[in-house]
Structure 1
Amino acid sequence: MSKSHCYNSKTFLLFYLGLLSAFGPFVMDMYLPSLPSMTGYFHTSASAVQWGLTSCMAGLAIGQLVFGMLSDAYGRRRPLFVALCLFLLSTMGCLYAGTIGEFVVSRFVQGLAGAGGAVLSRSVAADRYSARELAAVLAVVGSINGVATVAAPVAGGLLDAVAGWQGIFWFLFTLGLLLVGATCRFRETLSPSCRKPWSFREVRAGFLSVLRNRSYVSNVMQYGLSMALLFTYISSAPFIMQHHFHLSPLTFSLFFGVNALAMVGATGLSARFAHMARALHVASRGQFIFGLSLCVALAAGCPFWVYELLVFVLLAAVGLGFTASNALAMDSERDRAGVASALLGAAGFAGGVVVTPLVGLGDILMTTGLLLVALSMSSWLLLRRATRFWAFPTAVGR
């Protein structure tokens, strides 16, 4: 191993990539329990405060594309430093915002910067590992990302009770400092000879090249649908558990954490499959079966234990699905890993942008059930078409 890579041991990279992967979910979701108190602080409505979530999600989606292209042109390390410094500045902007407008703008920049960590965690893994080892690394990173997505609101609720919404953003600032320190130790994984020149023509050629890869596009769509299923659960669970089943906030938080274990177990299990394509097939069928079952159960007025059991198993299938599709997509586009990772991450957040406002339309039980069926059926039908007509990978992870 060269001197430039002397610190890139697998243990360090797993720790570092896990932190980067968890960055986006914590930036987006951690302050959700503080929304009611923030309406009073800024003397505004709940809908105005929720624009902070929307702007952050938009920043995360756009930032995936920006930092993906930058990392292919300038390497992984320098864009990471830019993203983290921008994140620290925008977090201070959130903490000292005088109006809700200033807060919303700061949240957009914070999401833009937070996307750098998410997109580069996949790019670095693709630089260093291949085939089965890449699948194992992404399984670990994916499990951390899945836990962070579900656990961020729970951790935010605990911090809000102790230090208010400002305490949550001071925690995010501290997390940013920790990542700056880790990035100082991180060594570049993309050699100059492998970098793509930065120009409009090259950027356009990069995106077109990646989008012509049908296997990659298929797996990106699978990833987006899995993430849309996850966001459907996240946005509906507080209302279903607390309003419909009358759980207390503390009990709700506990079950929220328990359900995270399903995703952890499933993402870890994905590395045991001989082929990632096989794992994706199992996940897609599981999502459809248990999504349909949950829809029927909610329509029939099921008791809480039935709802919780079906959600737990459905989230296991979701965790397996986005881990397998993540590994397959990145393995099929190694030459342009930055652009590939950017589009992959943007697709995941785009799914969240679409389904989150739909959950609240009409009867939340029926809307949630129908969304779960529509998304899981789309995943299953897409995979059947990809297997039959496209050059779908069957040997990844061998």
Structure 2
Amino acid sequence: MRNTNSKIFLLILLGSLTAFGPLVTDMYLPSLPSMTDYFGTQASMVQLGLTSSMIGLALRQLFFGPLSDWYGRRPPLLVAMSLFIVSTVCCIFSATIEGFIFFRLIQGIAGAGGIVVSRSIATDRFTGKELAKAMAIIGAINGIAPVASPVLGGFLTDSIGWKGIFIVLLILGVLLLFSNLHFKESLSVDNRKRGNLKSLVSSFGIVLKNRRYVYYVLQMGFAMGVLFANISSSPFIVQQHYGFSAFEFSLFFGINALAIGLAAGLSVKFKNPEHAMFLGSVGMTMMSAVEFVILSNEYHFAVYEAVLFVLLFSMGLTFTASTTLAMDCERANSGTASALFGAAGFAFGGIVSPLVGLGDILSTTGLIFFVCSVCSLCFSVLAMNQTHTNLWGSFKCKMGPVTRFVFLRREK
């Protein structure tokens, strides 16, 4: 009997687990108005269901990662999926908005298990180029799912309502539970950590001492800030400012999701992940500066959409690269590293999302795009300066005199 699953099974499972968190968070967004009427409450109370699930997704990753290092990958997955099924049933039958918000928090906690453990499984099973390809799939889904989930939810809301959407999530949870029952443990007993709560805290300290890993996490976090700024602002920009319908908005949302997926897939073609991360960060910075000007001066929609497509494509290049590099440099603590990596992404998204509504949404969104992109580029450069490989040679001859002067001074 085989002790490992096939590569195809693993990739399908990892992709499904990665998509699960964003589906839980975002798929019911188009049904928020109908939920307001159903519970007889204010829109802000219904939106707390989204906030609570993101809190659960962010915080619980910090625990699922170390637990998977101690007890293996399979037990936390089974617990997470079982908890998700129970919490989803409770969401469907919630009689009050307060109960719904609480069970959404539990849903987010359960969904976090799949996200964090999927990266650890990939690190257990794959190395080198195969790891980069696996992370490319995870990165592509991680970039597409938050964007595509509201589109799918928009189609479902009109036909089956908000409870129907949660029934769909329940079915997906059951399917994943059965899939996880067939998953064969990827972390051997000999490679598992031993410890208690104190060692849990110390494991985070060990990972955070790895400066290069921290730079990769921050690079990804600010890139996620760009993504969530777009998710939060684009419905208002496209529908209210440019006057498109909800259906037309869904089409453009899907096109932009395609940009992220294409970039994540193409990133593995680079000779080294650092190249993809650096070039993606440069592209993000350039395109966000242009988008800031476009939004501030209210240019035509076609110009806004074209630049946004390139901006998200550049961002997609960095997702796969930073994930691969971060996990590869913390193999000994992959569960903890994956937990911090995932929690940081949702934390940045949770911070940025409400900021786009401050002041004029057009100029504020453009400014957030630019600030997050510049910060992402800075941490990309810092991470590359930490590596011991000679990656700068291929860049220096192509850099302009000002950029070259900055790096030559740093090397001195």
TM-score range, shorter-chain basis? over 0.9
Q: Does 1:252 align with 2:249?
A: yes
Q: Which residue of 2 aligns with 1:204?
A: 201
Q: Does 1:220 align with 2:253?
A: no
1:173 to 170, 173, 178: 170
1:25, 1:267 → 2: CA distance?
Answer: 17
Q: Which residue of 2 aligns with 1:93?
A: 90
Q: Which residue of 2 aligns with 1:149?
A: 146
1:239 aligned counterpart, secondary structure: helix
1:302 to 280, 292, 299: 299
Q: Does 1:312 align with 2:309?
A: yes
Q: How does 1:40-55 map to 2 (within 5 A)?
A: 40-55=37-52
Q: How many angstroms does 1:393 deviate by? A: 6.1
Q: How many angstroms does 1:392 deviate by? A: 6.4
TM-score by length of 1: 0.96
2:269 aligned counterpart, secondary structure: coil
Q: Could you tell me whether the CA contact under 8 Å between 1:215 and 1:393 is conserved in 2?
A: no
2:22, 2:119 → 1: CA distance?
Answer: 15
**Structure 1 segments unaligned to the other structure (5+ residues):** none
Q: Does 1:33 align with 2:20?
A: no
Q: Could you tell me whether the CA contact under 8 Å between 1:17 and 1:121 is conserved in 2?
A: yes
Q: Which residue of 1 aligns with 2:53?
A: 56
Aligned residue identity for 1:235: S
Q: Which residue of 1 aligns with 2:3?
A: 4
Q: Which residue of 2 aligns with 1:109?
A: 106
Aligned residue identity for 1:218: Y
Q: Could you tell me whether the CA contact under 8 Å between 1:87 and 1:110 is conserved in 2?
A: yes
TM-score by length of 2: 0.93
Q: How many angstroms does 1:75 deviate by? A: 0.1
Deviations 1:192-239 (A, max 9, x none): 011111302321221111111111111011111111110000000000
Q: How many angstroms does 1:379 deviate by? A: 1.2
Q: Which residue of 2 aligns with 1:127?
A: 124
2:19 to 17, 22, 27: 22
How many pairs align? Answer: 391
Q: Which residue of 1 aligns with 2:355?
A: 358
Q: How many angstroms does 1:83 deviate by? A: 0.2
Q: How many angstroms does 1:391 deviate by? A: 3.5
Q: Could you tell me whether the CA contact under 8 Å between 1:59 and 1:109 is conserved in 2?
A: yes
Q: Could you tell me whether the CA contact under 8 Å between 2:259 and 2:313 is conserved in 1?
A: yes
Give the root-mean-square deviation of aligned CA atoms.
1.1
Deviations 1:70-102 (A, max 9, x none): 101100000000000000011011101111100
**Structure 2 segments unaligned to the other structure (5+ residues):** 392-412
Q: Could you tell me whether the CA contact under 8 Å between 1:88 and 1:173 is conserved in 2?
A: yes
Q: Which residue of 1 aligns with 2:406?
A: none
Q: Could you tell me whether the CA contact under 8 Å between 2:216 and 2:383 is conserved in 1?
A: no
1:393, 1:189 → 2: CA distance?
Answer: 30
Q: How many angstroms does 1:266 deviate by? A: 0.1
Q: How many angstroms does 1:131 deviate by? A: 1.8
Aligned residue identity for 2:318: G
Q: How many angstroms does 1:374 deviate by? A: 0.6
